[in-house]
Structure 1
Amino acid sequence: MMIAVVGTGVIGESWARLFLAHGHDVTATDPAPGAEERLRASLGPSERLRFTDDLAAAVADADFVQENGPERLEVKHELLAGVDAAARPDVVVASSSSMLRPTDLARGAPAHPERVLVGHPFNPPHLVPLVEVVPGEATSEAAVDAAMAFYRAVGRTPLRLRAELPGHLANRLQAALWREAYSLVARGVATVADVDTAITEGPGLRWAALGPFANQHLSGGPGGIAHVLEHLGPGTEALWADLGTASHTPELVARIVAGVDEALAGSDSADLLARRDAVIAAVLAARAPDGA
């Protein structure tokens, strides 16, 4: 297959890496100065990678389009209009958008809105399996089925959402945690480092193995989640009522930035990324059926 990668920033580069690793040809496009040089330096030499600054040429022969433009609707509309005009009518156009609704995105592709959907990965897409597939009001079932099949074929775990919401599913779950994390720091309950430690040394380890409902079920012993809900349900509701909220005031932003700088003092960003990716790879290997 020929895959068009529209936008080659952090997400687009990772998508291209994944598609190439699975034997696909990739045509990438990005108008940013130096984009081709950065992409090739990151991915290394490949005969299957082509780059063009002509959007229409990039998608003309594509069998699947993965759009990764900036998270601004007007920019997405401009990109999708160009894709819509040049790509074959049967080609799925998947947006990596993390917040925008596919129905709103599809307004930028008036000729064939039925092939537009959200295919939202988790960073970095070449390592993290999750892809949220979100159809819009005009999206056809054929486009959804094709996207699900394509993502499975490149080793991802596609998850079809049943409704359009800002942030889709996983980002909304993350946002709930971030809201309380920022609130705890704002109230002086914990430092930035404390919050990160609480997750990495606690529930984060369990979440890498099983989701929140499955973990809650195991916490109930023989009675499972029914026991948990019976005995801890009222306390959990009381916690929900006590959870805080926070606004990105200049004071809180400054405290968060300073806290991250303090927690990561002496750390190299490239080393942190390498460590993160190595842990992700190790977790995925440990979860594999054969443990390897």
Structure 2
Amino acid sequence: MPQKTIAVIGTGVIGNGWIARFLANGHHVIAFDPAPDAKEKTQAFLNDAWSTLATYGMTDDASMEHLSFAKTLEEAVQHVDLVQENVPEREDLKTQVLSQVDAAAPARAVIASSTSGYKPSVLQKDCTFHPERVIVAHPFNPVYLIPLVELAKGEKTDPSMVEKARGIYNGLNMKPLVMSGEIDGHIGDRLMEAIWRESLHIVNDGVATTEEVDKAIVYGPGLRWALMGPFLTLHLAGGNQGMAHMLEQFGPALKLPWTRLVAPELTEELSRKVIEGTKDQSGERTVREMEHRRDRFLIKLMQLLEEEGFWPSERLIRHE
């Protein structure tokens, strides 16, 4: 993909992850964050992640020297092809920032929000210049490794801008998923929140510890989901007749789990169980050490999926 200039607004965990991914693919990045120590934190993050990115694969023109910090938001977005917004999840803040970006960025630029919750129609409501180029581009942590990015268009979005964004993210070795519609929380987070909600119920009711819940996912459904996802996994559970038999046989028994949708109250006791449980699981390992371990595993897993021909997952391909 031709080298592009990309503005990253907000340099927290997600913003820095985007910066690392953009730089690793040879692009120029102009960052803006009002925090006084933002530049130093970003540089420390890149210094730590760069060796991992080198292992995963970089383009020949990848360089940390392609990063600069702007003094103002307007300066950051003046001459870019893409704006990636990553400010905190507050509707008033996001709509204000996106309105400022819309007023200053060139008309050709895609404006993408990394929001994990808001619909693009909500985010583009105060953009009075070119709301048609505002989309959601929701990544998953760590952004510099996880390939999925969920793309959603709002009521005013021009579909050609979604396709333009798809091309950019494809060029980053990502798996852009263009959603058929828009929904609060998008797809991936809605599914993760359902598991998180039930996990809290289980711990709150004293049925299992945090470690036991994690084991139930890691050694069971988590292994299958890496390959097929929930629908194809259950399709196989129906035997030769697939999903039709699965729904006929098991559907009625799943009514109770399907209707337990209210999250438990986050009491001090539940918080204590979750905090102490995860602290005990972590043992003496620091968060940084656990991140490195996670990254090594993700690289190996993605390489395995590639080697075995399990991507793309939309349609199964014959594998000998």
Tell me which interval the TM-score lies in, with the shorter structure as reference length.
Answer: over 0.9
CA deviations 1:45-92 (Å, max 9, x no partner) are 722111123111111011111111111112112221221121101211
- Distance in structure 2 (CA, Å) of the matches to 1:196 and 1:10: 23
Of residues 36, 39, 42, the one that matches 1:36 is: 39
Q: Percent identity?
A: 43
Does 1:16 find its partner at 2:16? no
What does residue range 1-292 of structure 1 map to in structure 2 within 5 Å? 1-44=4-47, 46-241=64-259, 245-289=263-307
The verdict on how the C-alpha distance between 1:30 and 1:241 changes in structure 2, with shifts beyond 3 A counting, is closer
User: Cα distance 1:190–1:64, how it changes in 2: closer, same or farther (>3 A)?
Assistant: same
Q: For residues 259 and 30 of structure 2, what CA distance do their matches in structure 1 show? A: 50
How much has 1:126 moved relative to structure 2? 1.3
CA contact (8 A) 1:131 1:159 kept: yes
What is the CA–CA distance in structure 1 between the aligned matches of 2:265 and 2:152, rounded to whole Å?
A: 29
> Where has structure 1 moved over 6 Å in runs of 4 or more?
none
TM-score, normalised on structure 1? 0.94
Please report how far the alpha carbon of residue 249 of structure 1 lies from its aligned counterpart in structure 2 after TM superposition. Answer: 2.2
Change beyond 3 A, Cα 1:277–1:61: same
Report Cα offsets for 1:191-219 as digits up to 9, x if no partner.
11111111111111111111111111222
After TM superposition, give the deviation of residue 236 of structure 1 in Å. 2.3
Describe the SS at the equivalent of 2:152.
strand
Instruction: Name the SS for the 1:20 alignment partner.
Output: helix
**Amino acid of the structure 2 residue aligned with 1:223:** Q
- In the superposition, relative to structure 1, how do residues 114 and 242 fare at CA in structure 2: closer, same or farther (>3 Å)? closer
TM norm structure 2: 0.86
Query: Over aligned residues, Cα RMSD in angstroms?
Result: 1.7
Paired letter, 2:32: T
Q: Which runs of 5+ in 2 are unaligned?
A: 48-62, 310-320
The 1:244–1:144 alpha-carbon spacing in structure 2 relative to 1, beyond 3 Å, is: closer
